[in-house]
Amino acid sequence: MNTDSKHPRDGRRRFLRLAATLSIASVAPRWTWAALPDLAGHTMGTAFRIRLGGDVPVTRLPLLRRVINGALDEVESRFSLYRPNSELAALNRAPGGVVQVLSAGDIDLVRAALAVRAESGGAYDPFAAPLVARWGFGPGAHAMEPDLAVSPALLERVRGASLEIRDGGVIKNRADATLDLNGIAKGEAVDRLAAILSTHGIADYLVEIGGEIRCAGSPTDDGANGWLVGVEGPGGRLVSRVRLDRLAVATSGDFVHYFIRGGRRYSHVIDPRSGLPVDHGLALVSVAAADCRMADAWSTALMVMGPDAGFLHALERGIAALFLARGASGPQLRRTPAWARLEANA
């Protein structure tokens, strides 16, 4: 008898954990992780955490907490598909051919998402929300139909969608175009928090939202630059360690949200080009980049491309990426030279 099951849709597993929590004494022998100033809470359906290195007076934390919470509320008010009154939800309800005014920063984020769509050949697609919902994930999801088919009309709705950036806003080419920035907005939120910390004169920090991380400086003053970050694979097994300073890391994987039907496993990672969940044996991709939003988007794109095409794409473009694939003899790790250099410094 077949058993159907599905993991929860809300939230996203934290693929990344801080190496300091693994009791790696060589990182900082004179401090404990719990002793660092901590700002934490919930946002975007997941948890966020900020760790401050150096000598940040505790008296500064209340102000920082207020500013950070305000920034996170603003991001959600703009980009959340779960809030019917968000700017993105309003854009998706708008008719085609009409200018929807956005702030300069939001237009820049949309432009970045469209650039990754083009550069990845559609492996990352900010218009893929209807396909994600079709398979039972994300807002607007509905029950699976028995044949698990994807209609040509639905594929055309995604493939044919586009935006024109003009006059301080964006214009959808068709009314049913649905923009979903979940694959880049969490990284954008991390970048915005990092910018706030820098503006307040804080040079040593680690920002994490749901496993997306950006670091600067160091947690200690012992001469070791950067923060040690570990990448977790299936089962919580540590598969890589990198040292980050003024860098971000994001991870996409297929082993957290999925359902099983007829003995087959269907991942929440959907290939917008075919409309189907990925089924190429790749368990996760981690990407390191100068900013978190690009690491976020490219980890998704490379995950969709698969273990061979994705690795070649990252290799040709000098992307720091780690690939973990399932093999007959066990997990198989591949890393681009740029990622290997980060590991060498860890």
The 10s digit of each residue's pLDDT in 85-124 is 888 888 999 999 999 888 888 899 999 999 999 999 999 9
Report pLDDT for 1.
37
* pLDDT band, residue 5 (cuts 50/70/90): very low
CATH topology of domain 84-183: T-fold (1.10.3980)
DSSP 3-state assignment of 134? helix
**At a CB cut-off of 8 Å and minimum separation 6, what does 37 contact?**
51, 52, 56, 58, 61
Weakest mean pLDDT among 173-182, 197-206, 229-238, 294-303? 229-238
**Whether the predicted pLDDT of 141 surpasses 80:** no
Report pLDDT for 20.
35
**Whether the predicted pLDDT of 46 surpasses 50:** yes
Q: Once rounded to an integer, what is the mean pLDDT over residues 193-198?
A: 95
Between 55 and 193, the more confident residue is 193
pTM: 0.86
**Whether the predicted pLDDT of 291 surpasses 80:** yes
Between 242 and 104, the more confident residue is 242
Task: Give residue for tokens 């044949």.
Answer: 147
Q: Alpha-carbon distance 123 to 272, whole Å?
A: 6
Report pLDDT for 61.
85
Q: Once rounded to an integer, what is the mean pLDDT over residues 1-12?
A: 38
* CA end-to-end span of the chain: 48
Report pLDDT for 227.
92
* pLDDT band, residue 223 (cuts 50/70/90): low
Report pLDDT for 3.
36
Q: Taking Cα atoms as reference points, which of 190, 189, 238 lies closest to residue 216?
A: 190
Report pLDDT for 118.
97
Q: Taking Cα atoms as reference points, which of 321, 324, 325 lies closest to residue 339?
A: 321
**At a CB cut-off of 8 Å and minimum separation 6, what does 197 contact?**
50, 52, 64, 205, 207, 216
The percentage of residues in the chain with a pLDDT greater than 90, rounded to a whole number, is: 52
* pLDDT band, residue 32 (cuts 50/70/90): very low
Weakest mean pLDDT among 131-145, 268-282, 330-344? 131-145
Structural domain boundaries in the chain: 84-183
**Whether the predicted pLDDT of 149 surpasses 60:** yes
The 10s digit of each residue's pLDDT in 252-263 is 988 677 677 777
